[in-house]
Amino acid sequence: MRLTAKCLKSLKCRAFWETTDIPSLKKFLEFRFLAGDLESEEIEHYYYTHDLNTIGSHYAEVSDVGQKVLKWKQHFKASVPITLLSCSITNYPAGAAGSGKGPALCSVALQRTTLWVRLTKERPGLSVIFNDKNSKSIRRFWVLQVDRQSKLVESQTAQQISELVTNQYHLAKLQVKTILHKDTVDHCAAVSKLTKSKVASAIDKSDPSVHTPSVHALRKRQIAYDSEESESSGTESAMRKVFNDDDDSEYDEDAATRPSTNECNESSVTRTSFVKTYMEMDHACKWTLPSGTVVEDIIFSKYKDVDTESLAHSWIIDLDDEMASLFSPVDWKEISSQTLSLPQLDVLTAKSVSRFAKVTTASGLREALETTSYRLKDEPYDREKHYDAEWVDLAMRRMLPLFESPDQLLRKPHLEGWYDSNIWSFIFDYALQDLKGMETVRYVPSDRFACICAHTSDVLISYSKESSSLATTMRKNRKRVRTGKEDRSKIGRRLDAIVKTDADAYYEYGAVEVAKSFRGVKSTKWLTDSLKLAKTLHDMLFRLEELVDHQDSLVKKLRVVGLVNSGLKCQVLRMSHPDGYVCLLERDELVEVPTVVENLRDLFKLLKSIWQMKMSYSLLCFALEWERMNMDCEAVVNSRHIPKTEKELFTELTGGSLKSPPRATSIPWSFDTPTKRKY
């Protein structure tokens, strides 16, 4: 049935009315059941009547659609006429035997029946009266639903009981093995101790010259017992670690944990949380495309039954994955066009890179560095003007020894710390150091800290053992209302680096995830790091939107940026909030540090990508004048309305309010990953 877009947008069950020409309650219930959206009887009947009333409110009663709506409403309430038609003939025998009025009643009943049959033949649409809310077919439909639900509950209960019994059996079996092993260890230790005492006593009471061979034999036995005792102690220690480790997986998402045996429960949590978030959305605030497609509805219909966590469960559209297949080409083009544009290299930085355009050898790179400069001769150095051009020059100088190395260091595999100190600290960290009020905090284990500091003593980089996201920490503790052992504060995601303000109550604008080797964009490590980083960026964007009070004009300009590193390869990720409850994640081209100087152009692409990432960071506004603050997110944050005159300030203080700017829809919290507990 063809309805206006405005009318369709207001309906509870839009898809049904778009695909049905002659609706009825029975058709409506069957459609909802096949779509997997069927709820209780009262709710479904309410939805049906609500949609009828909504359609009626959009069309005049004299119109064709208005007349149809009136007829459908009458059909929905037509329970009394059916009762009269079905019971009139049953009174015939009693009437005939009693007052003599039986034939008259029979005649009336037959006339009504004949009239009814003739009407239904001439106007087939009237047959839907048999599908009113009190008809036998509708009652039978709901009885079948109750039976299905009861059987489903029984099946789920039986499955849960079976899993519980199986888990308890395996746990008891493991505990028995532990007890038996402990008894064996204690027995071996006791035997070893007794043997040692006997050996010492025999040596003291005997002549050494006579018993020398026996002493050597006893020493061999003693060594054997010591070895057994050491091995038993190690086994006991390992078993103790398995059973006595503190369960911190709930508080640290990055802790190495064994997957839960009850994956069904985790799947249920995933679906329940996703559905709950969707049901709390305001339909009027969803992202509706010009074609009438509602983006949130498309995402929900596709991923409501998906058990494995994905970005879609956090209402994030990855522009590089399979989600494009869910939309028409026109709709997908409209979605993709909502991303924010990227800045181009400034003139000085571009000239600094262009100096090395013809370099194809290590000697040629050295000659270019020695004979050319990123600034004019005798021109004084201006940090604000020349910093980016100098950064390009520094990156080339740091890469030169690696290109000249006879051991070809760039072709060999290394640990993460080697890449951090020899590659990324000068390409990424140094690039951001001129942004005032900002710091890049890297996570570095203590055993690598001294080594990295030795390599980067001339570059100011902040290293820390902890670099967890504050935005994620706030999301994971949003429901915390008390303290105590059972309600400990949960920490955010640990990332390899976080870009943030240097204030105490800091805000975050980007993050970095690092791996020591690249196994492809479909490898488990790459996919896991990308998901982890994207969710963290979503948390950061959520907090920034709160900072700007969800002002629509400001929210649409916010953008957070992340970087995924794997060996010498990296990819920049950008996230923004264009409309509705949905965020967009766009990925740059995968770039890499070249292993040979002949491929130096790959380094040019990498430097440009990092520079654009820097320009996207909101903290750039701290180094720019007010008229240039619209370039980045922090400029947007600082452009919130502040009373500028005495009159405005007086109005605000005395309870009056200035005209509030339009508010954007608040994005939902990121999806909470189900907890996987240790055993």
Q: Does the residue 521 lie in any domain?
A: yes
Write the pLDDT tens digit of every residue in 241-251: 433 333 333 33
Q: How confident is the model at residue 11 (pLDDT cuts 50, 70, 90)?
A: confident
Do 128 and 151 belong together in one domain?
A: no
Do 395 and 510 belong together in one domain?
A: yes
Which of 46-50, 88-92, 180-184, 394-398 is the least confident region?
88-92
Look at residues 143, 167, 189 and tell me which one is the last residue of a structural domain. 143
Do 214 and 238 belong together in one domain?
A: yes
pLDDT at residue number 660: 52
pLDDT, average across residues 337-355: 90
Q: Does the residue 279 lie in any domain?
A: no
Hey, what amino acid is at 598?
E
Q: Does the residue 28 lie in any domain?
A: yes
More confident residue, 256 or 353: 353
> In the chain, how many domains are there?
3
More confident residue, 231 or 372: 372
Q: How confident is the model at residue 393 (pLDDT cuts 50, 70, 90)?
A: very high
Residues near 668 by Cβ (< 8 Å), separated by ≥ 6? 277, 281, 314, 315, 581
Do 150 and 61 belong together in one domain?
A: no
- Give 521's Cβ-side CA count (13 Å radius): 11
Q: How confident is the model at residue 329 (pLDDT cuts 50, 70, 90)?
A: very high
Q: How confident is the model at residue 130 (pLDDT cuts 50, 70, 90)?
A: very low
**CA nearest 265: which of 159, 174, 169?**
159
pLDDT at residue number 175: 72
pLDDT at residue number 369: 94
Do 119 and 154 belong together in one domain?
A: no
Do 401 and 534 belong together in one domain?
A: yes
pLDDT, average across residues 378-392: 93
- Expressed as residue numbers, the domain containing 184 is 144-244
Do 532 and 418 belong together in one domain?
A: yes
Cα–Cα distance measured from residue 495 to residue 466, given in angstroms and rounded to the nearest whole number: 9
Which of 69-83, 452-466, 637-651 is the least confident region?
452-466
pLDDT at residue number 41: 79
Q: Has residue 228 got a pLDDT over 60?
A: no
In this structure, the strands spanning 560-566 and 569-579 are antiparallel
What's the maximum distance between 2 C-alpha atoms anywhere in the chain? 138
Residues near 59 by Cβ (< 8 Å), separated by ≥ 6? 7, 65, 66, 69
Cα–Cα distance measured from residue 118 to residue 111, given in angstroms and rounded to the nearest whole number: 10
Hey, what amino acid is at 323?
M
Task: Name the phi and psi angles at 516, rounded to 5.
Answer: -80, -20
pLDDT at residue number 187: 64
pLDDT at residue number 574: 93
Q: Does the residue 318 lie in any domain?
A: no
Which of 303-307, 519-523, 623-627 is the least confident region?
623-627
Write the pLDDT tens digit of every residue in 562-590: 999 899 999 999 999 999 999 999 999 99
Do 129 and 168 belong together in one domain?
A: no
Percent of the chain with pLDDT strictly greater than 90: 26
More confident residue, 486 or 455: 486
Whether 311 contacts 318, CB under 8 Å: yes
pLDDT at residue number 355: 94
Do 185 and 118 belong together in one domain?
A: no
The answer, as to whether pTM is greater than 0.85, is: no
More confident residue, 538 or 659: 538
In this structure, the strands spanning 582-587 and 569-579 are antiparallel
Q: Has residue 136 got a pLDDT over 80?
A: no
584, β-bridge pairs: 317, 576
pLDDT at residue number 331: 95
Look at residues 112, 143, 174 and tell me which one is the last residue of a structural domain. 143
pLDDT, average across residues 360-375: 94
Do 507 and 426 belong together in one domain?
A: yes
Do 470 and 549 belong together in one domain?
A: yes
Q: Coil, strand or helix: which one is 88?
A: coil
Do 82 and 208 belong together in one domain?
A: no
Q: Does the residue 185 lie in any domain?
A: yes
More confident residue, 572 or 149: 572
Q: Does the residue 289 lie in any domain?
A: no
Q: Does the residue 261 lie in any domain?
A: no
pLDDT, average across residues 136-143: 74
Q: SS3 string of 533-578?
A: HHHHHHHHHHHHHHHCCCEHHHHCCCCEEEEEEECCEEEEEEEEEE
Q: Does the residue 200 lie in any domain?
A: yes
Look at residues 117, 143, 169 and tell me which one is the last residue of a structural domain. 143
